[in-house]
Structure 1
């Protein structure tokens, strides 16, 4: 009997299997003052990364800053800006790269939707939803590209959604999130020769204080129980901290073999809304 592995030495781990993390990496996160973006920023700083972030309002940035430790604050670069405003996002990327001496990764976390159902959402609603999701992502990656290339490569993480691959209302949002998943796969092929990995992360329904599911759990507990019972095998939505850990993994060197993927972090969620497909 011939063993197909005969003659091939077993691989050994040198120095153990300690988590290399993102220490000293230089990473930008859009929309980092609340929700998922905030948790990504906090985890990056806690893990020793130099972290840049932006938010639409100065109070959000200020609240984040004062909540950090002195050590974390020295590694934070933050600005208040609207990512859809021409030139502002590009200026933020340039400023952060100058502050940190380069970039090793970016996370496109800003997202959202405008307008109602299909018959009520006009062309402006579709355009605005596309711009805040897909438009801002492409501009972020394009602005960061020279800095990632100069660093010898890096990691791009695009925050999509369960709505990007499991249909539900509203169509303009799901369409934009689906495009982000395709964008990750396409850019992974195009930028791979430069050592740049691109992946999408698709969170399911998240329990964020003050947001939809947290309000639903408090205000209409019966509807919340019906939704989680029918659509979430785990019985509860994911926490933003759980999604943040997946994002930071994709930014780390331990995910070096992963590119062009869409990683769902949704506890095997079925439909993205209480209303089914």
Structure 2
């Protein structure tokens, strides 16, 4: 997915990440893809993982065709033991260290409280909180070896604005807390940790885009949750992530930054 704006940047221009060695989880689709594209356009050296090899190959071919080089990629499920940690070590070896990591992979399983089982809750937790904790743990020695670095945790406004499903919101709330706690723990090593919470994003082919075309009346009611009546875009969220990875944000750590156009409820059902 791309809205075409990344083409406005040339390597080393605009984003402040030129030469940064950055690993992004879940970087082949949606927000993760837009983060990868923006960082690549800014001259970063990139590693990214996703579950689908075909998506990674498509992303690599596209970035290469745009003159942004080829990222180091690996197909894996971030919830499978040791695979993520091995990828982090391999990326650090390839780049001779790391300057930043972005925990973007995530998701949810199950529906409402009466329908979701224990496995739905545990999988949702592992996709979001567990994967983030293991990513940071694996990256810390490499960030420390580079003299410090930046960790960006992609949470969600669902982490503090109630809405279904509860297991997803609870996991996102934990990510926000995790970022603040790790900022204190890792600060002495020069490692900054921040959380970014996107609002509902308009992504071609995804839930809100489908609602816009298939259920225009429901979509119009949903827009009442946003003062501007317009959803945030992945590009706008990616720019905040790039800022937090750059040296321009050297004084920012332990912060929680919503990027949601002052959205109220995270779902059409309201609070």
Superposed pair shares fold, TM > 0.5: yes
CA contact (8 A) 1:20 1:254 kept: no
Runs of 4+ in 1 over 2 A off after TM superposition: none
CA contact (8 A) 2:147 2:189 kept: yes
Among 250, 253, 256, the residue aligned to 1:262: 256
SS for the counterpart of 1:197 is: strand
Among 205, 211, 214, the residue aligned to 1:210: 205
Among 93, 111, 118, the residue aligned to 1:98: 93
Aligned to 2:5: none
1:117 aligns with 2:112: yes
> Using the alignment, how far apart are the partners of 2:63 and 2:254 within structure 1?
33
Aligned-pair CA distance for 1:69: 2.9
Aligned to 1:271: 265
Report how many residues are paired.
258
Aligned-pair CA distance for 1:54: 0.4
Q: Which runs of 5+ in 2 are unaligned?
A: 1-12
Q: Alignment RMSD, CA only?
A: 1.1
Computing the radius of gyration from Cα coordinates, the structure with the larger value is 1
Among 229, 237, 243, the residue aligned to 1:235: 229
Aligned-pair CA distance for 1:66: 1.2
Matches within 5 A, 1:2-17: none
> Using the alignment, how far apart are the partners of 1:273 and 1:28 within structure 2?
30
Among 164, 169, 184, the residue aligned to 1:189: 184
1:246 aligns with 2:245: no
1:223 aligns with 2:214: no
TM-score scaled by structure 1?
Answer: 0.91
Aligned-pair CA distance for 1:234: 1.3
Aligned-pair CA distance for 1:119: 1.0
Could you give the per-residue CA deviations for residues 172-193 of structure 1, whole angstroms, max 9, x where no partner exists? 0000000000000000000000
> Using the alignment, how far apart are the partners of 1:181 and 1:159 within structure 2?
9
Q: Which runs of 5+ in 1 are unaligned?
A: 1-17
> Using the alignment, how far apart are the partners of 1:25 and 1:138 within structure 2?
22
CA contact (8 A) 1:56 1:80 kept: yes
